[in-house]
Structure 1
Amino acid sequence: MGRCAGNRDLRGWIERLTERNGFCALPVVVGKSQPLAFRRWSPGEPLKSGVWNIKIPKAGENVRPNIVIAPVLGFDSYCFRLGYGGGYFDRTLATLSPKPRILGVGYACTEITTIYPQPHDIAMDMMVTEAGVSLPHKE
């Protein structure tokens, strides 16, 4: 899979969300093989480097999200995602009750026939790409 044209920069969306009294929480790796924490963050608040040099909030309370936006390397028509390794999103989603709404974000050209989902994989509720929104295919 090569890099596709498009932009997955969600900062403008986050700014509009906070203007409407919503809030954003960024995922934080707490430890190897542990579920992610979600730390509240607003544009302009300081960030620091976390695991794999991914930016995370320097401060902020941990919150339980009702919507999770998950980046994808690939996805299939059933809205299963191929992630960046480690199983953090699936492990985290399995612990959240009630389950939040899960939105995948990626490029349309990364859709593949199947990711060969495993029993621990959790399907997304929808996939958002530059081509539009896809809902899971039902058999």
Structure 2
Amino acid sequence: MQDEREDVGYASPPCFMHELSPDYSIETVRQDCWTDVLRWRKAERKRLIAERLALSADEREARSNRIAVMLDRALGNVSGRIVGAYWPFRGEPDLRNWSIRLLERGGRIALPVVVQKGWPLEYRIWSPGDPLERGVWNILVPSRGPAVQPSAVIAPLVGFDQEHYRLGYGGGFFDRTLAAMAKKPLTIGVGYAHGRLPTIYPQPHDIPMDIVITE
């Protein structure tokens, strides 16, 4: 989710980039395609994060509020449901107020915790007043509590494509988490519209979102 480092633990798959991009040419894509994808994703990640950080605080708040309205429509009745949310990081849509309103409507919020590098994320129940501590990359996480299985997970994204594949921070935590879950939750990617890309060049380990919501 809020993973920050490039994950280089995957083997290079066969090169299918020519099937994904109309602009493909031998001059622009080297034989080592996974290396090319990593390089391209890193550059796009840097560009898109810089664009969202350049937004004013008021503009980010306005966009976050619009996303919250559409999240309510996508989730419907939340009473009794556990929803995986996140603590905002580096200009991501801020859904903390929305999370509190979800609690008031009978839902429950779980926040992701990085347990160990290379492991799936662990979701822990959180309510206002529960103790938090600084986790990986200084992000606040619940300091205790058992792991839970959300019925829906909201994943912040840096970029996304028309197939709902998510460009995250490169650590692979979210894909590993979904792959490890006994039952796949409803997955909702949230981000800003400027993050829309023709493709992120999805790889075998990438898992698409069910829904992508922007402002």
Structure 1: give runs of 5+ residues left out of the alignment.
131-139
Shift of 1:43: 2.1
- For these two proteins, the number of residue pairs brought into alignment is 130
Q: Measure, in 2, the Cα distance between the counterparts of 1:51 and 1:85.
A: 14
User: Percent identity at matched positions?
Assistant: 58
Does residue 117 (structure 1) correspond to residue 202 (structure 2)? The answer is yes
Deviations 1:76-129 (A, max 9, x none): 011000001210000000011211000001000110110000011000000111
**What's the TM-score once normalised by structure 1's chain length?**
0.89
Please show how residues 58-97 of structure 1 align to structure 2 within 5 Å.
Answer: 58-97=143-182
**What's the TM-score once normalised by structure 2's chain length?**
0.58
Q: Measure, in 2, the Cα distance between the counterparts of 1:60 and 1:24.
A: 13
Contact 1:106 1:128 (C-alpha < 8 Å) held by counterparts = yes
Structure 2: give runs of 5+ residues left out of the alignment.
1-47, 65-92
Q: What secondary structure sits across from 1:13 in the alignment?
A: helix
Shift of 1:19: 0.9
Q: Which residue is 1:11 aligned to? A: 96
Higher share of residues assigned strand: 1
Q: Which residue is 1:36 aligned to? A: 121
Q: Which residue is 1:107 aligned to? A: 192
Higher share of residues assigned helix: 2
Deviations 1:20-50 (A, max 9, x none): 2211000000101000100110123221100
- Divergent runs of 4+, >6 A: none
8-17 vs 109-118, which moves further: 8-17
